Structure 1
Amino acid sequence: MPLGTLDRTPPPFFKQGPSALTRLAFFATLAVFLMVADTRFKLTGPLRSAAALALQPLERSLLAPFEGYTTLSDYFGGIHRAVEGRNQAEHKLAAQAERTMRVEQLERENARLRELLTLRARLQVKSRTAEVLYDSADPYTRKVVIDQGSTQGVALGSPVVDDTGVIGQVTRLYPLTAEVTLVTDKDAAIPVLNTRTQQRGAAFGHPNDGGMELRYMAGNADVQAGDMLQTSGMDGVYPTGLPVAKVLRVDRRADSAFAKIVLAPIARPDSARQVLVLEPLALQLPERPKPVATASDDAASGATTGRPRRPARKGARP
């Protein structure tokens, strides 16, 4: 069929009905009417409710995957946050425990330092504070090293005490440190005085049997368990009245003239940290006066020098 013979006019169906402008005006008016009616009389409220109720299962089914993903994310995120919170709490607890231990240690050190200051005020000798650095490397001795030496004025033989009693004595001196032989060492010896009987003796170190031992006491000596021993001051080293040891037991043996007396140190030789280094008592004693020359000394000096003694003249005064 030739193209020129085709009917290009629209079918009659599209020519029926109102025009487009009429339909626009109609639907605009209807929209305005529905809006006014909904605002004034709430006509579309039940319709919207019915539509929402009918569409709710569909909405829930469409939202289920998203809600499941959100729930799983929140669950695993909560677990991760809980683990992090637990780790942080454990770190804080460990830090607080360490701080508590340091605080307790500092409190104990402060208490010992206060006691040392109180003891220092009571002592009538010069003293300086020191701290124990470490134990001696020799396992067969009882010695420690302190952080004060000859540069700080520590003298050889200086007594070392803590807030409870005698610790030991400086036996080796270095410029910045000093070695202290403890009272429990096998070579240590301290003159002591029994506070109950006022009897003097000598306490020696005996690390294998209670710490110390009171030797050379007669078998019938008046020594009882519980007696307190303190320094007698007879050696010119330790001041008088420093606590040394307590009698643990007394063994009186028939086959020996001496009693075996086991002592326990009053101080803490193996655990002391802060100590006082005292000036030896001999350094505080006045110097001995020089001997006065006499006639016999002059004669003796003349005899030793070979000078003849001039004879006395007759009539001369003696």
Structure 2
Amino acid sequence: MPRAIEHQHHTGFFVRGPSPAARLLLFSLLSLVLLATDAKLNYLTEVRQGFLALAHPLQLIANAPRNLIQNVGAYFHTQTSVVHENSVLRSQALKHAAELQRYKTLEVENERLRKLLGAAQLSSQPARLAEILHMGRDPFTHKVVVNLGSRQNIVAGQAVIDEVAIIGQVTRVYPFSSEVTLITDKGLSVPVLVERNGLRAIAFGRGHDAMIELPSLPTNVDIRVGDKLITSGIDGIYPTGLAVAEVTHVDTNTDTPFAHIIAKPLAGIENHKQLLLVSIPKVDRPADSNTLQNPDPQQNVASPRNKKAVTPKRHGNN
């Protein structure tokens, strides 16, 4: 009992503890002192760096979940962006490749049009530039359809050429298009002559291949491999001197009376889209005998004024 009373009467200051206000004031003063000391003397720099070094692993551990979530989100976002960008770049690459191919095609076409223009200027007959619309409907014939017709003054029979040689002939005309039969068609013939010696012949298309042949020529004919065939102009359709083909095969078998001569057309019959339609050459018809004797047709008719002059005199007794 006395010990309990003695314990109650001897409660000290630190056993009870300072009040909250005293603690706030104490720590505030301590903070101010430390701040002033650190600002003036930099005594606590090393202490602060030591605390930061000790706290760095804890910061890494605390920030690990957030960094992991950010990295995972950034990975998926980057993956999606890369896939989308790859798709866009691939599409652009294909587009640019197609445009580049189109530019190359246009460049080749432009160069060929320049050659066609030069061929039109060198031709003695007027020529019209035409474009192939489509091939003929019959697969067993060598025909094409061009975009010029009777409305553009195209007539059947006009020769068709490219910048190198003869391609064929206009065989059918529609209002806005025309059918061109190629020289390799079996139904078309071209009067030709050998440029080396002037030998005349008729070239026919073989039909089953892109070649022509010269039938009905004797075995002793003077034609060699490599001879160039040009138009003779005797048909009045093809201008004289246009290149046609080059002889590639000559077979003079003694068992047959005729030679087997094959030639390859020089024109790009199946390779191009533009061609030239040459006008039919105008042939000056010679004047007939009556016209040569009487240039003025009015002189053949006897007028009343000169009847007496043209009436023969009678000889005899009146």
Question: When the two structures are superposed, what TM-score results if normalisation uses the length of structure 1?
Answer: 0.83
Q: Does 1:66 pair with 2:102?
A: no
- Say what the alpha-carbon RMSD is for the aligned residues: 2.8
| Per-residue CA distance 1:261-296 (angstroms, 9 max, x = gap) | 011110121222100001011xx223553552679x
In the TM superposition, residue 31 of structure 1 has moved relative to its aligned partner by 2.9
Aligned equivalent of 1:192: 192
Distance 1:176 1:84, change over 3 A: same
Structure 2 residue ranges without an equivalent (≥5): 1-10, 295-309
Tell me if the contact between 1:210 and 1:262 (Cα under 8 Å) persists in the aligned partners. Answer: no
In the TM superposition, residue 157 of structure 1 has moved relative to its aligned partner by 0.5
Where 2:181 maps in the other structure, the secondary structure is strand
Aligned equivalent of 1:161: 161
Matches within 5 A, 1:258-277: 258-277=258-277
State the distance in 2 between where 1:85 and 1:21 align.
65
Aligned equivalent of 1:285: 283
| Per-residue CA distance 1:63-110 (angstroms, 9 max, x = gap) | 111111222222222222222222122112111211121111111111
Aligned equivalent of 2:104: 104
| Per-residue CA distance 1:231-288 (angstroms, 9 max, x = gap) | 111110011111101101011122322111011110121222100001011xx22355
Distance 1:210 1:277, change over 3 A: closer
Aligned equivalent of 2:241: 241
State the distance in 1 between where 2:20 and 2:115 align.
109
Q: After alignment, is 251-260 or 207-216 more displaced?
A: 207-216
State the distance in 2 between where 1:90 and 1:170 align.
47
Q: After alignment, is 251-260 or 102-111 more displaced?
A: 251-260
State the distance in 1 between where 2:107 and 2:101 align.
10
Q: How many residues align?
A: 291
State the distance in 2 between where 1:218 and 1:25 align.
135
Tell me if the contact between 1:206 and 1:213 (Cα under 8 Å) persists in the aligned partners. Answer: yes
Aligned equivalent of 1:257: 257
Where 1:292 maps in the other structure, the secondary structure is helix
Q: What is the one-letter code of the residue matched to 1:149?
A: G
State the distance in 1 between where 2:50 and 2:154 align.
102
Aligned equivalent of 1:118: 118
Tell me if the contact between 2:140 and 2:207 (Cα under 8 Å) persists in the aligned partners. Answer: no
Matches within 5 A, 1:77-226: 77-208=77-208, 211-226=211-226
In the TM superposition, residue 22 of structure 1 has moved relative to its aligned partner by 6.8
State the distance in 1 between where 2:144 and 2:95 align.
32
In the TM superposition, residue 312 of structure 1 has moved relative to its aligned partner by 5.0
In the TM superposition, residue 149 of structure 1 has moved relative to its aligned partner by 0.4
Aligned equivalent of 1:6: none
Where 2:244 maps in the other structure, the secondary structure is strand
State the distance in 2 between where 1:252 and 1:209 align.
22
State the distance in 2 between where 1:24 and 1:196 align.
125
Tell me if the contact between 1:225 and 1:247 (Cα under 8 Å) persists in the aligned partners. Answer: yes
Where 1:137 maps in the other structure, the secondary structure is coil
| Per-residue CA distance 1:156-193 (angstroms, 9 max, x = gap) | 10001011111100000001000000000001100011
Where 1:215 maps in the other structure, the secondary structure is coil
Structure 1 residue ranges without an equivalent (≥5): 1-10, 296-309
Aligned equivalent of 2:297: none
Where 2:214 maps in the other structure, the secondary structure is strand
Tell me if the contact between 1:149 and 1:177 (Cα under 8 Å) persists in the aligned partners. Answer: yes
Where 1:134 maps in the other structure, the secondary structure is strand
